[in-house]
Amino acid sequence: FERASPAPFASGPRDLIVVCHRTPDKVAQGRFRLDNLPDGRVDLLARCASAAIFTSHGVRRETRLWLALQDQSVCLCLDGSTARGMHPDERTLAAAMKRTLAVEHGATSRADTANGWSYHAGGLEQRLRELRQQRPVSRGPRPILQLHEDGEATLQELLAAGGGGQPAASPGAVLVLGDQLGFTSGEEALLASAGARRATVSPRGLLTSHCIVLAHHALDEAEARVGLAASPVE
């Protein structure tokens, strides 16, 4: 985990928001059992965290994952730039989530509680508002990409074509993904009003964690192409 990782891409930070529904109160309060992660589908949250942050020999320092627990109007954030001593297995990630959530509900804080994880009030709407204001210096607005089975184009096509006045490797992409229940009509309207573009990563319905991996791949490729094009010819 502590091996050197590549320098952050020049395009800026990458934020992924997973919109979660029907999260039980015991999960949101950190009262779930580590020996029964499918109860409350904590295993799915942990898989998303693993897919979002970890690479083969390190972590994506430029990436943040936001687990938006919509029913409780709170978010858990895993920041790759501050994550330390963590492993990609579900139990380790679930234990870190449990500590962070439990502290917010009265448990005693430990030295490893803030191990890249943080707790934030507000759900999808507040995260979009805040993230759109966080833009790289001298760069345009951050593009919002909604991963959806009924996307207007594949993510690769949108990144290659740009669109909306944004270059192919727009700075600091914000990707929004749904859980197994997709998006509510209110969330769809919110994303549309924020100017989100719908993209798909597969002609088939996939697990959210798998979509995260495919989205990272598409963004990595797009940024690599832009980096090569910007490199001076020797």
Contact 162, 197 (CB under 8 A): no
pLDDT at 165: 44
pLDDT digits (tens, 9 = 90+) for 127-176: 999 998 876 554 667 889 999 999 999 999 988 876 554 545 556 889 99
pLDDT at 38: 95
pLDDT at 117: 93
CA-based end-to-end distance of the chain? 35
What does the pLDDT average to over 106-118?
Answer: 67
pLDDT at 11: 44
pLDDT at 222: 86
pLDDT digits (tens, 9 = 90+) for 57-105: 899 999 999 999 999 999 999 999 999 878 999 999 999 999 999 988 7
Tell me the pLDDT band of 224, cut-offs 50, 70 and 90. Answer: confident
Residue 191 token pair: 């994303």
What does the pLDDT average to over 205-216?
Answer: 96
pLDDT at 114: 60
Average pLDDT over the chain reads 85
Give the predicted TM-score (pTM) of the model.
0.87
Distance CA 33, CA 134 (A): 36
